[in-house]
Structure 1
Amino acid sequence: MLFLLWTAVLLAALYLYFHQRYSRFSRHGVKTVKPTPPFGNMGRITLRIEHFVDMLERLYNEYPDEKFVGMFEFVNPMVLIRDIELIKRIGIKDFDSFLDHRVIVDENIDPFFGRNLFSLKGQEWKDMRSTLSPAFTSSKIRLMVPFMVEVGDQMIRSLKKKISDSGVGYLDVDMKDISTRYANDVIASCAFGLKVDSHTIENNKFYEMGKRASSFNFSQLLKFFGYTSFPSLMKLFKLSLFTKETKDFFTELVTSTMKDRETHNTIRPDMIHLLMEAKKGQLTHEDKTAQDEDAGFATVEESSVGKKDINIVWTDIDLIAQAVIFFVAGFETVSSTMSFLLHELAFHPEVQAKLVEEIRENDRKNGGKFNYNSIQQMTYMDMVVSELLRLWTPGLALDRYCNKDYNLGKPNDKATEDFIIRKGEAVSIPVWAIHRDPKYFPDPLKFDPERFSEENRHKIQPFTYLPFGMGPRNCIGSRFALCEVKVMAYQLLQHFELSPSEKSCHPIKLCKSTFNIRIEGGHWIRLKVRN
């Protein structure tokens, strides 16, 4: 009887707790899909019934007349913003009220993630942004293009050899694997100054460590939600997103590279060099010249926050953390963008043919060479990449932490009460769903680069196209990422025809076992050497 009594008391306490947590929005007239304890609205993701983007679209589309709706990450309330003007307020006008991302990991447990630019907060984030932003200007990225081309040449040689060895004149490949190896080798070269050929030496240690750090598998997904929903519990058990082996590898790599360069006075225009300059306070902003063209329509501009001159001495851990986040962010997002781009080109031969003609024209004009400027002048290339980033954006949603009580206004035109989001709560901006809203992009599931032509791009409503985020906290590496994607596309299409394979998944179905966007069964296409 005593056991039954205490069980009843515990159940009653749990009921009251969940009822209190899950009535956060309904008490104020904000609509939300009914949560299921203890998952909130994350049950179908946790059980791998649907992908994260399916949940985003479902919540976004369920209430078309709402400016914002409520959702729950397990027991934590989050406001999903649907109204474009409200998105603008949060990201630009009232940025100081939503300065930070949510806490993901404790910097004492996992300094690599806790001390990087994405995770830093308040003034520390502003200072680090100002420190790093000179490293990502067009003039700096321009110097890294030859490293990208060198990696692309390795990839082309490897693929041509495999086609020759196949004996059938073509090769069916999982382009996610190819693009991941390419992205890995580019970052090894452009960030760490290493020459790695992951197409030939497939299981090299740098590639293996990179995959572990950035794959964001189901275990990492649960840890991520654990930190956002139950941070005290995660800190108690000292759970980290990275393994000790991965952390030790990157620590040794960065510190030993820096020491070696200081000893031998080696200068190479890559990210390690720029971080060393930042540590000495010698990385400064430069005036933009006529040569410093932006990387394309999707490029985001640096705000005044990132252009301030500061004089701060950063620790080695701080610098290692920036190198690691640069690797993690670039490894997965670029490879994902490239694999979806090549899939779309394989299934849209008319787009592929037009892009190949532009590449050939560029070759004719520049004697077979290409550099940062010539790539940026390819208007159709930019249209294709811009449309890909709309349809298959790797930045699925933006999150912002509310650092003081903020009035979001009324959730809809019929509401009688304003909703106040409280300090410590968060908002989510569903970029994926906005990019696929027919109100902003007609026939949104169609891959149509003409949306971004000179004649049409002015029709795109501001703040409805956000592949690299918005406001002062936008993606610092947009120029690098766009340049890398374009260089890889240029080199592949120079040498290969892309077409569907018998293994191709079309229409695309997303794999539910990862937070990242990947095609179920792989990104299979067929490559043939181009005449």
Structure 2
Amino acid sequence: MFYLILVAIFVCVLALYLNYVCSTFNQYGIKHDATVPFIGPTIKLLRAKEHIGQDLKNLYDRYPEERFLGRFELLKDSIVIRDIELLKKITIKDSEHFLDHTSNGFESLFERSLFFMQGQEWKDMRSTLSPAFTSSKIRQMVPFMVEVGDQMMTSLKNQIENSKDGYVDIDCKDLTTRYANDVIASCAFGLKVNSHTDKNNDFYVTGKTAFEFKLHLLLVFFLISKVPYLKEALNWSVLPKKTQDYFINLFMSTMRERELKKIVRPDMIHLLMEANKGKLSHEEVKSTDTAAGFATVEESSFGQRTMNRVWKDEDLVAQAFLFFVAGFETVSSSMCFIMHELAVHPDVQDRLVQEIREHDAKNGGKFTFDSILNMKYMDMVVSEVLRLWPPNVVLDRVCTKDYNMGKPNPAAKKDFIIRKGSPIMIPSYAFHHDAEFFPEPEKFDPERFSEENKHKINPMAYMPFGVGPRNCIGSRFALCELKVMLYQLLREMELSPCEKTCIPAKLDTKSFNNRLVGGHWLRFKPRN
């Protein structure tokens, strides 16, 4: 009887709490989809009927008159930003109120990375790292990228030579993941690996293991991210200890060897070591500096401060690991979508190939960082793919100080005060597919980013690398890597659809990351 009474009390308390959570939005006139807290989002995740990007876009589209919306995430209520002016206020003008990402209580390699750091510590790390990601630093890494691209092209040619038909059908995700893996190995860790020939090298296999999210692991990841104390209760880690130990040992041994032997190599480990010693300084941005393209994000005042703080070795390891995470998954996925759009739009591919050939003829086949700045159509193509298929379909922030959001709509009777610790969601995929900002949003049209048209784009509505001070610090590197691969690939290979190509393109609802249904299959054959 005693235990039955306890259960009854627990059920009553839970019911009252859930009723409170559900009624919060209604009290302030905040529109939201009807759902059962905790149960609803979990079932939705398991049933996997919609990709998270499309799911948020559906919510965004259902309430066109709202400034912000409500969404339930397990026992938490989140605010979804819809109004472009409100977005500008909370991410730029009043960014101090929304400076942090949600802390998930993960293990140190995640939690100590720049992405999850909070408050003053994040500002200090951003200031420390910012000089390492300038155009002049990325320029020195282009030869490493070109070397990796040459290995990829040799592998493709060998596969075609061994085929009967003079072409090969390939899942691009495998190709681009191996390319991105080798670029990170070279540019970040100073390793020379060739994942196209040595398919099971330790660096690639360890990284791939870290990103194999099966459905049951996705559910646990989702639960822990929303209810962090479950991590201790379940004794579960997002990243296996073996994987953590591998990267820690790799970074530390490399750093010790370079210190001992006075080795200097212009890669990320070297830059992290120099940044930690205060030997890197911010560059003066010149009016002629066009960075790496339209999608490049600029550093805020937070990152431009001079910082003399000395960090622990494990903090530097965490930044190197974050660099690996971003390169291994995000960049490789963007490459897949670029190839897909070029394959199904041969006119765009032909025009881009023509620009590449003209550059080749002018520069004797040499490709440098300056090449990236001079290839205008390539930048148009990449910018449009990043709009149509943004690397991050939703951005997150957490309120760090109580903040008056104003009224959710003209009919609301009172302002909504979002409390400290409450999460907000910025549906970047929805903004990128809003006809108000991008006419015919489902159409792949690089001309949106031409010299004649790009001034029409509202910069707040375009956020492939985030928005505000917490934008992606590595946008220049990512854009450079994308364009180097694209240049080397299209110069020698023609891309076209094959029987397995996903047409029309549709995001796979069963994947935690951005994937097309059935994979990114395309046909590769040599150009005449």
**TM-score, normalization: structure 2?**
0.97
Give me the whole-angstrom Cα distance separating, in 1, the residues matched to 2:373 and 2:243: 36
- % identical equivalent positions: 58
Aligned ranges 1:375-386 → 2 under 5 Å = 375-386=372-383
Counterpart contact for 1:138–1:293, Cα < 8 Å: no
Aligned match for 1:207, one of 179, 204, 208: 204
Counterpart contact for 1:170–1:528, Cα < 8 Å: yes
- The residue aligned with 2:265 is 268
- The residue aligned with 1:525 is 522
- The residue aligned with 1:115 is 112
- The residue aligned with 2:27 is 27
- The residue aligned with 1:323 is 320
Aligned ranges 1:372-411 → 2 under 5 Å = 372-411=369-408
- The residue aligned with 1:257 is 254
Give me the whole-angstrom Cα distance separating, in 2, the residues matched to 1:510 and 1:416: 39
Task: Please state if 1:105 is matched with 2:102.
Answer: no
Q: Deviations over 1:480-518 (max 9, x none)?
A: 000000000111100100000011111122222222110
Task: Please state if 1:297 is matched with 2:294.
Answer: yes
SS of equivalent to 2:210:
helix
- The residue aligned with 1:56 is 56
Give me the whole-angstrom Cα distance separating, in 2, the residues matched to 1:444 and 1:430: 15
Give me the whole-angstrom Cα distance separating, in 2, the residues matched to 1:6 and 1:238: 26
Counterpart contact for 1:387–1:448, Cα < 8 Å: yes
SS of equivalent to 1:472:
coil
Counterpart contact for 1:293–1:373, Cα < 8 Å: no
Counterpart contact for 1:176–1:339, Cα < 8 Å: yes
- The residue aligned with 2:143 is 146
- Give the Å deviation of 1:15: 2.0
Aligned match for 1:184, one of 166, 178, 181: 181
Q: Deviations over 1:343-386 (max 9, x none)?
A: 11000000000000000011011011110011221000000000
Counterpart contact for 1:133–1:307, Cα < 8 Å: yes
Aligned match for 2:503, one of 503, 506, 517: 506
- Higher mean C-alpha displacement, 282-291 vs 405-414: 282-291
Counterpart residue type for residue 38 of structure 2 = P
**Taking structure 1 as reference, are residues 404 and 289 closer, same or farther at Cα in structure 2, changes over 3 Å only?**
closer
Q: Deviations over 1:226-256 (max 9, x none)?
A: 2332112223444321001100100110001
Counterpart residue type for residue 249 of structure 2 = E
- Give the Å deviation of 1:325: 0.5
- The residue aligned with 1:14 is 14
Counterpart contact for 1:69–1:81, Cα < 8 Å: yes
- Give the Å deviation of 1:8: 4.7
- Give the Å deviation of 1:270: 0.2
- The residue aligned with 1:494 is 491
Counterpart contact for 2:38–2:73, Cα < 8 Å: no
SS of equivalent to 2:116:
coil
Q: Deviations over 1:93-150 (max 9, x none)?
A: 00101110011225xxx11011000000111000000000001000000000000000
Counterpart residue type for residue 139 of structure 1 = S
- Give the Å deviation of 1:448: 0.5
**Taking structure 1 as reference, are residues 350 and 125 closer, same or farther at Cα in structure 2, changes over 3 Å only?**
same
Counterpart residue type for residue 401 of structure 1 = V
Give me the whole-angstrom Cα distance separating, in 2, the residues matched to 1:263 and 1:413: 66
Counterpart contact for 1:402–1:422, Cα < 8 Å: yes
- The residue aligned with 2:477 is 480
How many residue pairs end up in the alignment? Answer: 528
Counterpart contact for 1:22–1:75, Cα < 8 Å: no
SS of equivalent to 1:463:
helix
Counterpart residue type for residue 147 of structure 2 = E
- Give the Å deviation of 1:9: 4.5
Give me the whole-angstrom Cα distance separating, in 1, the residues matched to 2:129 and 2:308: 12
Task: Please state if 1:128 is matched with 2:125.
Answer: yes
Aligned ranges 1:13-92 → 2 under 5 Å = 13-92=13-92
- The residue aligned with 1:332 is 329
Counterpart residue type for residue 230 of structure 1 = V
SS of equivalent to 1:32:
coil
Counterpart contact for 1:129–1:306, Cα < 8 Å: yes
Counterpart contact for 1:356–1:493, Cα < 8 Å: yes
Aligned ranges 1:414-429 → 2 under 5 Å = 414-429=411-426
Counterpart residue type for residue 61 of structure 1 = D
SS of equivalent to 1:267:
coil
Counterpart residue type for residue 510 of structure 1 = L
- Give the Å deviation of 1:7: 5.3
- The residue aligned with 2:95 is 95
- Give the Å deviation of 1:37: 3.4
Counterpart residue type for residue 351 of structure 1 = V
Give me the whole-angstrom Cα distance separating, in 1, the residues matched to 2:250 and 2:327: 18
Q: What stretches of structure 1 of length at least 5 have no aligned partner?
A: none
Counterpart residue type for residue 235 of structure 1 = E
**Taking structure 1 as reference, are residues 93 and 42 closer, same or farther at Cα in structure 2, changes over 3 Å only?**
farther
Counterpart residue type for residue 444 of structure 2 = F
Give me the whole-angstrom Cα distance separating, in 2, the residues matched to 1:332 and 1:179: 9
SS of equivalent to 1:25:
helix
Q: Deviations over 1:151-190 (max 9, x none)?
A: 0000000000000000210000001110111000000000
- Give the Å deviation of 1:209: 1.2
Aligned ranges 1:423-462 → 2 under 5 Å = 423-462=420-459
**TM-score, normalization: structure 1?**
0.96
Counterpart contact for 1:34–1:41, Cα < 8 Å: no
Give me the whole-angstrom Cα distance separating, in 1, the residues matched to 2:421 and 2:287: 44
SS of equivalent to 2:265:
coil
Counterpart residue type for residue 325 of structure 2 = V
Q: What stretches of structure 2 of length at least 5 have no aligned partner?
A: none
Counterpart contact for 2:97–2:400, Cα < 8 Å: yes
Give me the whole-angstrom Cα distance separating, in 1, the residues matched to 2:461 and 2:284: 30
- Give the Å deviation of 1:326: 0.6
SS of equivalent to 1:404:
coil
- Higher mean C-alpha displacement, 451-460 vs 379-388: 451-460
Give me the whole-angstrom Cα distance separating, in 2, the residues matched to 1:392 and 1:78: 24
Give me the whole-angstrom Cα distance separating, in 1, the residues matched to 2:264 and 2:2: 74
Counterpart residue type for residue 329 of structure 2 = E
Q: Deviations over 1:253-290 (max 9, x none)?
A: 00011111112111000001011112222222233457
Give me the whole-angstrom Cα distance separating, in 2, the residues matched to 1:181 and 1:103: 30
**Taking structure 1 as reference, are residues 4 and 111 closer, same or farther at Cα in structure 2, changes over 3 Å only?**
closer
- The residue aligned with 1:156 is 153
Task: Please state if 1:193 is matched with 2:190.
Answer: yes
What is the Cα-based RMSD across aligned positions, in Å? 1.6
Counterpart residue type for residue 71 of structure 1 = R
SS of equivalent to 1:318:
helix
Counterpart contact for 1:399–1:426, Cα < 8 Å: yes
Give me the whole-angstrom Cα distance separating, in 2, the residues matched to 1:227 and 1:366: 53
Give me the whole-angstrom Cα distance separating, in 1, the residues matched to 2:216 and 2:257: 36
